[in-house]
């Protein structure tokens, strides 16, 4: 593989009605992918049969259902490209996505991660993302703290980052991308292309975010992990602590409403601990 070779990893689980649309959008790129790997995380709806019938030329991997992180990690491990792109099976790429990203990366060879803007479709209609979802480039670590500001379907990432920082955390059923971008952006600047080159489809019942209540508990876990990161200076550490305190407060409000006594005690203890650390910093 060359310096700018790319492996595209598409993960899927029971997405038979959308998987062809996603793969077609990669096959139609003006800058062809060097390989396409589809990791099927235990589909039972005929997704695998459809892929193998329609796309016998791509690499298809089936595994027992272990979640999105394990599926992406399996694709990373099998990928041979220098760069790795991800595509969720309910999203699509516009035809010049890879072309635009590689042009930008060749003009800015110091970068090891690149993402793009995106188009949002909800229940068949285009919607405008809120200001909190605005995308940025450069040193964006602190902008990554409130919520995930890099879409996995938009990113190209150099494989050396995974060798150095590890892959997606399979212990996180959701917010696994938030966790990875915190680790990456603590060490690496991000190249951002303002042109929307990805179409993200949402509002359907299969979305992972609909399966879990209290999403901030997973973000809190990721923030707790990043506190141990070697390259955090005092400014970044303080920003992380402030965000942990903020998110624990939000999560506690939700647990109080739901009457989850055990969680309330645990997170009240965490809140006191992190408030103390913030004062001492």
pLDDT tens-place string over residues 113-148 = 999 999 999 988 999 988 889 999 999 999 999 999
Closest to 12 measured CA to CA, from 4, 22, 2, 3: 22
Give 48's contacts (C-beta < 8 A, 6+ positions apart).
40, 60, 62
Question: Can you read off the two tokens belonging to residue 260?
Answer: 């989850």
Q: What is the pLDDT of residues 149-177, one digit of tens each?
A: 999 999 999 999 999 999 999 999 999 99
Structure-derived torsion over alpha carbons of residues 137, 141, 142, 148, reported in degrees to the nearest 10: 80
DSSP structure class, residue 190: B
pLDDT at 210: 58
pLDDT of residue 123: 87
Q: In the prediction, which pLDDT does 198 show?
A: 98
Closest CA to 191 of 110, 119, 129: 110
CA-closest candidate to residue 97, choices 75, 119, 80, 81 = 119
What pairs with residue 236 in β-bridges?
A: none
pLDDT of 207 > 60? The answer is no
What is residue 166's three-state secondary structure?
coil
| Phi (first) and psi of residue 79, to 5 degrees | -70, 140
- Read off the pLDDT band of 204 (50, 70, 90): low
Tens-digit pLDDT profile for residues 59-103: 999 999 999 999 999 999 999 999 999 999 999 999 999 999 999
- Is pLDDT above 70 for 250? yes
Nearest Cα to Cα of residue 223 among 245, 249, 192:
245
- CA distances to 7, 112, 140 from 188, rounded to whole Å, are 21, 7, 9
Tens digit of each residue's pLDDT (9 = 90 or more) over 265-274: 899 999 999 9
- Separation between Cα atoms, residue 219 and residue 178, nearest integer Å: 7
- pLDDT of 208 > 60? The answer is no
């Amino acid at each position: 593989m060359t310096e700018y070779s790319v492996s595209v990893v598409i993960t899927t689980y029971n997405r038979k009605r959308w998987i062809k649309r996603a793969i077609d959008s990669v096959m139609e790129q003006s800058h062809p992918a060097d390989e396409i790997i589809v990791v099927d995380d235990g589909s039972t709806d005929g997704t695998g049969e459809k892929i193998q019938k329609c796309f016998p030329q791509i690499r298809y991997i089936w595994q027992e259902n272990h979640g999105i992180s394990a599926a992406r990690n399996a694709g990373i491990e099998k990928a041979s490209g220098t760069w790795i792109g991800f595509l969720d099976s309910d999203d699509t790429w516009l035809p010049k996505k890879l072309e635009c990203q590689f042009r930008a990366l060749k003009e800015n060879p110091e970068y090891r991660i690149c993402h793009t803007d995106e188009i949002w479709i909800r229940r068949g209609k285009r919607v405008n993302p809120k200001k909190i979802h605005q995308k940025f480039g450069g040193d964006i670590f602190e902008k990554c703290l409130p919520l995930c500001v890099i879409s996995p379907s938009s990113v190209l990432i150099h494989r050396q980052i995974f060798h150095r920082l590890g892959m997606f955390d399979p212990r996180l059923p959701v917010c696994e991308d938030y966790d990875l971008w915190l680790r990456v952006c603590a060490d690496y600047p991000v190249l951002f292309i303002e042109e929307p080159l990805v179409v993200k489809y949402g509002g359907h019942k299969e979305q992972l975010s609909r399966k879990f209540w209290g999403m901030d508990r997973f973000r809190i876990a990721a923030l707790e992990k990043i506190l141990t990161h070697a390259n955090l200076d005092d400014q970044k550490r303080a920003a992380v602590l402030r965000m942990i305190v903020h998110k624990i407060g939000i999560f506690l409000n939700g647990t109080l409403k739901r009457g989850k006594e055990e969680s309330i005690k645990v997170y009240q203890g965490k809140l006191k601990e992190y408030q103390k650390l913030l004062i001492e910093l």
